[in-house]
Amino acid sequence: MALFVPKIDHIGKQSYSAPDLYVANPKQTVIGSFTSIGSRVRIGHGTHPQDYLSTSPYLYLDRLEYKTSQTPSHNEWEELAPVWIGSDVWIGDEVLIKNGVTIGHGAIIGAKSLVTKDVPPYAVVVGVPAKILRYRFAPEIIKKLLKLKWWSLPNYQIKQIPYDDVAAAIQKMEEFRNK
């Protein structure tokens, strides 16, 4: 499988996506380091007014040049709130992430999930809409990992961390941070 670096302005080191990633607001969306994004993922989507006569943007957006100059403009509906995705996040295939959502560090988003609300750090969420299934680690481990922020260490230190043993990894990161 080919890996691609998403074409967004704010992306951390070693993050990638599989093919066919769509980011609605690439100038303001943030993706942290070491984040893995599956195929056919969509980050950020437009929204439409639900209490107007119609939801069609032709009736309220100036740039579509359909409405008359006397018709009120509501160009604010075109603004897309940025999405913030932390470091060490895994986003499965065909996930949809709505505007303005924050996905915490270490989270996992199950394939084909619809993320409409913020996802806490190290949560595993699945479904439509996405709901917390469980957490990857116990609360005290999550607290330590968030404090240590392994992804912000220099690459030569990151490469020395024993990733297959979380307790040993935390110990090694604490050694690095205390030097």
* Catalytic machinery residues: 48
- Give the chain's count of helices (H) and strands (E): 3, 14
Kindly give, in sequence order, each residue whose CB lies less than 8 Å from that of residue 161, ignoring residues fewer than 6 positions away: 150, 153, 169, 172, 173
Residue whose C-alpha is closest to residue 32's, from 105, 111, 123, 137: 105
